């Protein structure tokens, strides 16, 4: 039995510093910095539990309000397969996150130690309570610790109880901090990668759509122009006015271009609706933690801003109101529509299609890509999103349905495209597999042989549903459905491809794809408005 000691002879130690010792941290103090970058006073050293756990590169803190859906990452699978997750991070160029699986294993070992310590203290507390309640019940108890209690006065027993309670509180705080840190690290680890995904940086070509407009290897006598030149010639694109109004990366669509935008949206929605996808008109602003749960972070790996955040009044921030951001894609509000809900098995697979305005903050720093409509800050996009049963075969079938619908839409527009199985280096955090479709842009022949991405489709397994607390009831139990998303049509890029590929230098006109003419008042060509 450990010797009894009253609190009278011990030096006072504040609770946070006792907690620091309980985590077996080094005794040399290290001052942390607050959110404004200021060094706190000496007395504040060690008083933040997060700083005590940072032995390896850390993800940014999770800004999740208490009202946010509680994520349920599969920590057990990460602990059982740390090498798999670490290599997956390296394959996908998440180098900082490659250290997190091993760190989670280390933290879990510390958590188990705290659990054992807590059990020992609780058993000791039970013996003490029995001794206080009825000393006679422990008279025949041969346990050495119980025998020690019989030698104590009631005052000593009460003091020992207070000490045990304080130590248990510290252990429970440590357990909570360790759990929170494991969760935080796990949330920053990308999804595992599908076996169908090529490792490395090079995608694999799966198929082509329509014939190439340049039939032979010899240069054609056809005059090719970029869509920016075509739009200027026809008077239907205005980049200079948009630069004055909003800056570079913004644009005005005029007359037939504005009409063509609506025609593309209407056509894509009609094609998806015919295929059984239910239409949704989603919000353009979402909570920042919803975007993060879907795999969209405020900054990319290079620190470049990706998402526009809505400025908060100081009083709202002080009250802890969640931050709002502009949605970069309708995938985010569509996924969030079923956050913290339970889907009925009979409703799965659940298909949704939405047209929305999308906002990307990073458009301005891409060199030649920032000219024209190819990479802009705001654009219209038609997005497909589906929830499936957590089954690989069912999800693959839904994924094929999305890619087939994309192929049908782009093929009917007369564009020459190629379907790519994207490599690990091109996968975002949420995707386990991704297929892109690239269209041929004559203006991009000096860059990537003319190819430019116009649609994308991804399988995210349960990455998003676990972070959004979206569940499905099946066979009397709750499981996490898998999600699939895809771009039905990204309007500016497709519009640009139509202008470039449909341009006739002799007539100074652009041929409108036949499938769009019902939404263009039967118009067959866009000619110059001003001579």
C-alpha span between 44 and 24 (Å, rounded): 19
Q: Which residues contact 339 (CB under 8 A, 6 or more apart)?
A: 69, 290, 293, 468, 469, 470
Distance (Å, whole) CA 14 – CA 9: 16
CA-CA distance, 344 to 245, in Å (whole number)?
48
Residue 509 host element (H or E): strand 509-511
Rg (CA), the chain: 30
205 marked as part of a ligand binding site? no
Is there a binding annotation on residue 458?
A: no
Percent helix, strand and coil across the chain, each to the nearest 5: 45, 15, 40
| Straight-line distance from the first to the last Cα atom of the chain, in angstroms, rounded to the nearest whole number | 101
Asked whether residue 361 is marked as a ligand-binding residue, the answer is yes
Is 159 marked as a binding-site residue?
no
Is 455 known as a binding-site position? yes
The reply, when asked if residue 83 is annotated as ligand binding, is no
Interatomic CA distance for residues 137 and 142, integer angstroms: 12
Determine whether the annotation assigns residue 531 to a binding site. no
In sequence order, the β-bridge partners of residue 526 are 510
Tokens of residue 230, six digits: 């075509």
Q: Which of 267, 287, 268 is nearest to 487 (CA)?
A: 268
* Distant-in-sequence, close-in-space partners of 365: CB < 8 Å, separation ≥ 6: 304
- Residue 379 is assigned to a ligand binding site: yes
d(CA 366, CA 363): 7
| 505 labelled binding-site residue | no
H/E/C letters for each residue in 36-83? Answer: CCCCCCHHHCCCCCCHHHCCCCCCCCCCCCCCCCCCCCCHHHHHHCHH
Q: Is 440 annotated as a binding residue?
A: no
**Cα–Cα–Cα angle for 70, 310, 464, nearest 5°?**
30
Residue 113 labeled ligand binder: no
Residue 453 counted as an annotated binding residue = yes
d(CA 104, CA 178): 9
Distance from the Cα of residue 355 to its chain's centroid: 20
Nearest to 418 by CA among 195, 272, 211: 211
Residue set of the binding site: 329, 360-362, 376-379, 383, 453-456, 485
Binding site for ATP, residues? 360-362, 376-379, 453-456
Annotated binding site for L-serine: 329, 360, 383, 485
């Amino acid at each position: 039995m450990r010797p009894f000691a009253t609190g009278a002879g011990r030096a006072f130690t504040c609770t946070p510093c006792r907690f620091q010792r309980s985590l077996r941290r080094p005794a040399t103090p290290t001052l942390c910095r607050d959110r404004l970058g200021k060094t706190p006073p000496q007395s504040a050293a060690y008083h933040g539990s997060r700083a005590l756990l940072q032995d390896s590169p850390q993800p940014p803190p999770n800004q999740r309000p208490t009202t946010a859906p509680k994520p349920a990452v599969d920590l057990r699978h990460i602990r059982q397969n740390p090498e798999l997750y670490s290599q997956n991070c390296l394959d996908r160029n998440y180098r900082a996150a490659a250290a997190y699986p091993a760190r989670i294993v280390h933290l879990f070992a510390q958590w188990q130690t705290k659990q054992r310590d807590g059990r020992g203290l609780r058993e000791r507390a039970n013996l003490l309570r029995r001794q206080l309640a009825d000393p006679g019940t422990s008279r025949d108890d041969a346990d050495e610790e119980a025998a020690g209690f019989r030698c104590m006065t009631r005052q000593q027993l009460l003091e020992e109880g207070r000490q045990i309670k304080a130590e248990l509180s510290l252990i429970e705080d440590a357990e909570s901090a360790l759990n929170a840190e494991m969760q935080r690290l796990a949330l920053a680890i990308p999804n595992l990668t599908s076996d169908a995904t090529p490792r490395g940086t090079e995608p694999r070509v799966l198929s082509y759509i329509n014939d190439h407009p340049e039939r032979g290897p010899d240069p054609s006598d056809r005059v090719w122009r970029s869509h920016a030149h075509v739009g200027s010639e026809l008077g239907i694109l205005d980049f200079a006015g948009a630069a004055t109004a909003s800056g570079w990366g913004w644009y005005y669509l005029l007359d037939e271009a504005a009409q063509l935008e609506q025609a593309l949206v209407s056509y894509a929605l009609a094609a998806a609706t015919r295929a059984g996808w239910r239409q949704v008109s989603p919000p353009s602003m979402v909570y920042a933690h919803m975007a993060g749960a879907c795999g969209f972070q405020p900054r990319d790996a290079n620190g470049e801003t990706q998402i526009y955040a809505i400025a908060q009044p100081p009083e709202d921030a002080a009250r802890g109101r969640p931050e709002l951001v502009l949605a970069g894609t309708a995938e985010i509000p569509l996924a969030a529509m079923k956050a913290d809900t339970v889907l009925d098995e009979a409703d799965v697979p659940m298909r949704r299609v939405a047209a929305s305005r999308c906002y990307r903050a990073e458009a301005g720093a891409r060199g030649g890509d920032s000219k024209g409509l190819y990479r802009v800050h705001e654009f219209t996009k038609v997005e497909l999103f589906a929830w499936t049963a957590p089954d690989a075969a069912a999800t693959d079938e839904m994924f094929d349905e999305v890619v087939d619908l994309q192929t049908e839409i782009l093929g009917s527009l007369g564009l020459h495209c190629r379907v790519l199985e994207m490599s690990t280096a091109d996968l975002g955090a949420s995707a386990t597999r991704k297929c892109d479709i690239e269209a041929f842009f004559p203006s991009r022949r000096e860059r990537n042989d003319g190819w430019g991405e116009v649609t994308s489709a991804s399988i995210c397994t349960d990455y998003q549903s676990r972070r959004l607390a979206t569940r499905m009831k099946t066979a009397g139990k709750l499981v996490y459905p898998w999600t699939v998303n895809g771009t039905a049509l990204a309007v500016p890029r497709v519009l640009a491809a139509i202008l470039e590929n449909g341009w006739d230098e002799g007539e100074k006109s652009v041929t409108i794809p036949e499938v769009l003419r019902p939404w263009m008042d039967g118009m067959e060509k866009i000619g110059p408005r001003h001579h």
